[in-house]
Amino acid sequence: MRKISLIPTLAHGAHPLADAAVQRRQLAEVPIPRFAAKLSEVGAGPLRAAPRIEVLQINVGRRCNQTCLHCHVDAGPDRTEVMADDVMDACLRFIEHAAIPTLDITGGAPEMHPAFATLVRRARALGCHVIDRCNLTITGLPNYAYLPAFLAEQQVEVIASLPHYALETTDAQRGAGVFAESLAALQRFNAVGYGQPAGPTLNLITNPLGGSLPAPQAQLEAEWRHELMVRYGISFTRLYTLTNMPISRFLAQLVAQGELTAYMQLLVEAFNPGTVAGLMCRNTLSVGWDGRLYDCDFNQMLAMALPQTIFEVTPEDLAERTIRVGSHCYACTAASGST
């Protein structure tokens, strides 16, 4: 594997924005309408969860082999947070008890958790559909070469981040060397059937390089399908677009460049009430590495915790709960939506 260039995480560099409370304050100071008020204005507030949880998304730790510029987790090789066995056991008990259809495993690079393969097997044995949020390059490291074949055997859906099908954009966002390694990884996934018509699902996620909105998803998907096939012989299932979330490392970038207010105003201007019904937080429960609960992975990184932990929560506690919102939520409701 080629060497991937890394940047220090905010946590490692003792950056003030490594503190979630500082991030929340910084966002609250931006002069835009409060998200809760915006929802009420269009008759969609307060934002409430659906009666039933469909997806348990668990963040198994913040370790990663990459340090992407936009990472909302501030993940990297220097992070040490990792989900303990008893938290993982409690997640699986909750899945069984609440008959959760989907387990969505994220990180960091979730595959770096020592019990990743065990977790996948146990969730599949419970009949769960399992999603692995994969950064692709992890499969090029010697200890993780088993992943494509293992994930295919377990029929795990892979959702992989790739900013662009061109080298410059991808390496600018995710570190020099990432593009070539990502292509090699996609070819490995294709070789075991991923992204083929009857094979397991390989979805890609793209996000813009800086403070702009992604282009319409359908238009990009057609373009990406053509370019990745013609240039590299790579196929995939679906392409999703993601709006950059103004928290953590992307927030630090916006602040450093004096672009935070302009970016937030862009998100507010693009507010689309039609996205509210499909927001991820409405049918998802997010679990942190330490067992705390959140409405979504973004709220998790802003430390906007629910009162219960995975050890004592019941599905009844969570049905139709009021979702905790903030200015960052405008990233999920901009244009065609992004969750």
| Total residues in contact with ligand SF4, by rule CB under 6 A | 13
Give the number of C-alpha atoms closer than 13 A to the C-alpha of residue 120, restricted to the C-beta side: 22
> Cβ distance 84 to 97 under 8 Å?
no
CB of 281 to ligand SF4, least distance (A): 3
- Of the candidates 61, 226, 84, 66, the residue with the CA atom closest to the CA atom of residue 139: 66
The single residue among 10, 239, 280, 301 that binds ligand SF4, judged by CB under 6 A, is 280
CA dist 202 and 182 (Å) reads 13
Alpha-carbon dihedral of residues 153, 159, 162, 164, nearest 10 degrees?
Answer: 110
Distance between CA 309 and CA 294 in Å, rounded?
A: 9
Site for ligand SF4 in 298-317 (CB under 6 A): 298-299
Q: How far is the CB of 246 from ligand SF4 (least distance, A)?
A: 10
Q: Bridge partners of 286?
A: 57, 294
Distance CA 194, CA 202 (A): 6
Q: How far is the CB of 209 from ligand SF4 (least distance, A)?
A: 21
Q: Which is nearer to ligand SF4, 82 or 260 (CB)?
A: 260
Residue 323 interacts with ligand SF4 (CB under 6 A)?
yes
Q: Are 166 and 224 in contact (CB under 8 A)?
A: no
Among 75, 296, 334, 335, binds ligand SF4 (CB under 6 A): 296
**67 contacts ligand SF4 (rule: CB under 6 A):** no
Tell me the closest approach of the beta carbon of residue 22 to ligand SF4, in angstroms. 18
Selected from 91, 242, 332, 334, the binder of ligand SF4 by CB under 6 A is: 332
* Chain residues that interact with ligand SF4, rule: CB under 6 A: 279-281, 295-296, 298-299, 323, 325, 328-329, 332, 339
